[in-house]
Amino acid sequence: MVHSRISLKTKNRFKNSMRDVVSGLGKDVTVYKQPLKAECLNCFYDKLTNSSTGKCKWTALEAITKQADYLASGGAGLQYKFFKVGRCPVCKGKGFLETPRKVWVNTLVTWNPQNRGNTLRTTPAGYEGATVAELKTDPKYHKLFRDCQKVVIEGNVCKLAKPPVLRGLGNNSILVVTVFTTDTTDKESDGILKQY
Ligand SMILES: [Zn+2]
């Protein structure tokens, strides 16, 4: 009896240390939530094509006044700019503006976990030769990772290879997220941020 109690205690200590390992050796990765989308205020939106109609909502004077009011009320960036016909200079013809939302999460990153027998059997279509990474982190980030748009690890843009998995039980559980690298760099999102 005494023996089994000790071993259980040891076992728990070992399990609890898993999270300590994550917080001690982990690094911050950037998790991008689905961006907030808002219809462009500068052009008419076309619901059929899901893009801008290429027509400005305002006259040149209205656009100048609105942009001035917008900046005066604490807004930043370009929100109103007159154009005759063609690509809206505010939304670049998309019809909506996207605001990236990112969160930093401390995770334990293992590149190429295949080497430990955790093979990702099929490479997602179109991503042959992609590098796989396994992230271990706190289960409280389950929803965040499940619904994320992408994950950036050391500048590498990654997508989920499969839904995140919880391993273990209760307080001892850990979230395992398998991702793979894509060819895109992280420039795009930063570019959008700067334009605002
Ligand atoms: Zn627009």
**Using one digit for the tens of pLDDT, what is the confidence trace for 50-78?**
999 999 999 999 999 999 999 999 998 99
Where in the sequence of the chain do the CATH 2.40.10 domains occur?
26-34+101-181
pLDDT in tens, 93-102: 999 999 889 9
pTM of the model: 0.65
Mean pLDDT of 14-19: 57
- Using the predicted structure, report yes or no on whether residue 117 has a pLDDT greater than 50: no
Q: How far is the CA of 100 from the centre of ligand 1 (A)?
A: 17
Q: How far is the CA of 122 from the centre of ligand 1 (A)?
A: 40
Q: How far is the CA of 88 from the centre of ligand 1 (A)?
A: 5
96: closest CA among 177, 38, 166, 155? 38
Fold designation for 26-34+101-181: Thrombin, subunit H (2.40.10)
Q: How far is the CA of 24 from the centre of ligand 1 (A)?
A: 46
Give the model's pLDDT for residue 22.
Answer: 62
Q: How far is the CA of 85 from the centre of ligand 1 (A)?
A: 11
75: closest CA among 38, 30, 31? 38
Q: How far is the CA of 78 from the centre of ligand 1 (A)?
A: 11
Q: How far is the CA of 70 from the centre of ligand 1 (A)?
A: 16
Q: How far is the CA of 147 from the centre of ligand 1 (A)?
A: 27
Q: How far is the CA of 101 from the centre of ligand 1 (A)?
A: 21
Q: How far is the CA of 196 from the centre of ligand 1 (A)?
A: 13
Contacts of the segment 48-54: beta carbons below 8 A, 24+ positions apart: 50/95, 51/93, 51/94, 51/95, 52/87, 52/88, 52/91, 52/93, 52/94, 52/95, 53/95, 54/85, 54/86, 54/87, 54/88, 54/93
Give the model's pLDDT for residue 146.
Answer: 97
Q: How far is the CA of 18 from the centre of ligand 1 (A)?
A: 49
pLDDT in tens, 121-172: 555 555 667 789 999 999 999 999 999 999 999 999 999 999 999 998 777 7
